[in-house]
Structure 1
Amino acid sequence: MSQQQIRILYIDDEVHNLNAFKASFRRLYAIQTAESAEEAYKLLEENDFHIIISDQRMPKMTGIEFFESILEKHAEPIRVLLTGYADINAVIDAINKGQVYKYFSKPWNEDELKHNIDKAYEVYALRKENRELTEKLLDVNEKLEFLLRQKLIS
């Protein structure tokens, strides 16, 4: 998949961060941004994203709380947390509660972030392929069980 097809949602209450992210990566990825969790929920209902990047410290809801709130309905996208604050408890919560793939400090290093977005997409693609292969395997298994039962009955 080309980078242009990698769909990213970036959530941050600071508009200049959203603009900086778009300016840095708009030629590489399909990017949508949201200034709040509420806005992000709407975008998640209308679009499929491969990667969701969220700021940790936002009004009303932290990035970890947002990730935790979408896990059941939107488990597939890879989650990345950005923050301007080095808070080890936030890192631990991000991993344990929000199932975050990576944690970055602001200001981000463009090359490092790009590299990790590409790696996150690889994880997304491998997980999707794994799910599809598992479904096929279960389907084949059901068919084999059915044929075996037919043989035993006859």
Structure 2
Amino acid sequence: MESKKNKITILYVDDEENNLVSFKATFRIKYKVFTAISGSAALKIVEDNPIDIIITDQRMPEMTGVEFLEEVIKINPEPMRILLTGYTDMAAVVDAVNKGKIFHYLNKPWSEEELDETIQRAYELYSERKTIMETYSKLEVTNEQLEFLLRQKLLS
């Protein structure tokens, strides 16, 4: 399990209060959990907190899960995104993949074990992606330094 300060940070968005309470009760010890009852409340959380993984219900009254995820990408494209729905709506799944750029799609009601495994896989990919981006940034700096040295050498 992650140490206290290195817990995976999860935002769970659902318009049903019971689902929010259940999710938090199930995962609060293992993960740092934020919950939101609407897409707009969740966007505020994303703006104010570093989030590793976002899990959202698809069918919500104010904005759908896909619409919410599209807005999240504009604010911060880094968190891994997981879509939950109690309905088999293939158009929603296609939109989630294409517009919300989801990592995974799960049916409601969710199984604690399956959801936990999905969170772990998403976080592994999230961590690998962050490491690759950090390495890429370092390589860009090194490349710029080498180009500068080469220009200096050519000019002298």
Query: Where on the TM-score scale, by shorter chain, does this alignment land: which range?
Result: over 0.9
Instruction: Determine which of 13, 16, 20 is the counterpart of 1:14.
Output: 16
Q: Share of identical aligned residues, percent?
A: 53
Q: Distance in 2 between matches of 1:42 and 1:73?
A: 10
Q: Distance in 1 between matches of 2:133 and 2:74?
A: 16
Query: How many positions carry a matched residue from both structures?
Result: 154
Instruction: Determine which of 94, 103, 106 is the counterpart of 1:104.
Output: 106
CA contact (8 A) 1:3 1:29 kept: no
Q: Cα deviations across residues 93-148 of structure 1 (Å, max 9, x unaligned)?
A: 10011000000111101111101100100111011111101100000000000000
Q: Distance in 1 between matches of 2:12 and 2:114?
A: 16
The answer to whether structure 1 residue 114 and structure 2 residue 116 are counterparts is yes
| Runs of 5+ consecutive residues of structure 2 not aligned to the other structure | none
* Alpha-carbon offset, residue 3 of structure 1: 6.8
In structure 2, the partner of 1:27 is 29
* Alpha-carbon offset, residue 54 of structure 1: 0.5
RMSD: 1.2
Aligned residue identity for 1:122: E
Q: Cα deviations across residues 51-81 of structure 1 (Å, max 9, x unaligned)?
A: 0000000012000001011212210000000
**TM-score when scaled to structure 1?**
0.97
CA contact (8 A) 1:55 1:63 kept: yes
After TM superposition, the runs of 4+ consecutive aligned structure 1 residues lying more than 3 A away are none
* Alpha-carbon offset, residue 26 of structure 1: 1.1
Instruction: Determine which of 25, 45, 56 is the counterpart of 2:47.
Output: 45
| Runs of 5+ consecutive residues of structure 1 not aligned to the other structure | none
Q: Distance in 1 between matches of 2:85 and 2:54?
A: 14
Q: Distance in 2 between matches of 1:88 and 1:68?
A: 18
Q: Distance in 2 between matches of 1:96 and 1:126?
A: 22
* Alpha-carbon offset, residue 45 of structure 1: 1.6
**TM-score when scaled to structure 2?**
0.95
